[in-house]
Structure 1
């Protein structure tokens, strides 16, 4: 069953059971029968940027799974102790080695089926210097008509790029909040 990945209590190590907690919660949770701890399973946060330089956007070719060899925006999981903007900037530095000026939050993409929420910030590139890290096979700038649309790694990247180029043509950027419905596994 979806959302049942916790097997042992993180505090005492006992096997957990899935049931409604005694506190009036309306969802089944992993509850430790030994110490009473309720464990919550929450979505993972993925942070990234839409790095752009004039009319071009930066994409990275993945050197890791999932989607090895596919193109993506620089992004990755949020770490403890960092803000969303700090995480997005860190991922851009790690994956592309790009010099950027962080902009506004641009898109929020919910992926309920996989338990993730993706946030992308606008990021103006200060120059065309790139120094890709070990998770990237290649980093390149693309004009809209050059983007390898069929080779993009994730639906959130495709959706964000389509909205970026549409907003750019309009001459102003909006905040986009989108639910991505993925086909069943």
Structure 2
């Protein structure tokens, strides 16, 4: 960041009084520009014994498979954002259920949240950010072509919970690189 979004003057990186970390601060108007992690929200859309995945039509990880998810917008709840992203990426209408996984990805300043979701019908189609969408049974999941570690981990949690018959909330930190899948 070079300029203040409030007044347009140059900013400096310093620790403001009473704070414990460097922030961009405008010496002209005094605005402190806090930079916080971004929420990526999505769903684990389920139809009978299958999970809906999208093949990415955008970078990063073009051509790899993912759960429908994306950045939360201002004015949305996390569940509203998850339903919107599922509709945008997979043309899928869902009933959003409970929060299923919350995974911190500190190296890219993100928190990924996935909700369990029930597909309301099979009227699905690839959106602008997807090359294709498809329902997969567990043994069909393209594990070597999963786009992001958080998606792979969420799918592993889902299939383990389904086998045990009890779905819980899963949390943790993902420290691997994007290329680790």
Q: TM-score range by the shorter chain?
A: over 0.9
Q: Secondary structure at the match of 1:64?
A: coil
Structure 1: where are the runs of 5+ without partners? 1-5
> Within 5 A, what are the aligned runs for 1:1-185?
6-22=1-17, 24-183=18-177
Tell me the CA shift for residue 131 of structure 1: 2.1
Question: How has the CA–CA distance of structure 1 residues 184 and 135 changed in structure 2, closer, same or farther, with 3 Å as cutoff?
Answer: closer
Tell me the CA shift for residue 127 of structure 1: 2.4
Q: Is the CA contact 2:147–2:178 (under 8 Å) kept in the aligned structure 1? A: no
Cα-Cα RMSD? 1.3
Structure 2: where are the runs of 5+ without partners? none
Distance (whole Å) between structure 2 residues aligned to residue 118 and residue 147 of structure 1: 20
Q: Could you list the runs of 4 or more consecutive aligned residues of structure 1 that deviate by over 4 angstroms after TM superposition? A: none
Distance (whole Å) between structure 2 residues aligned to residue 145 and residue 17 of structure 1: 53
Tell me the residue number matched to 1:3.
none
Q: How many residues align?
A: 179
Tell me the CA shift for residue 132 of structure 1: 1.8
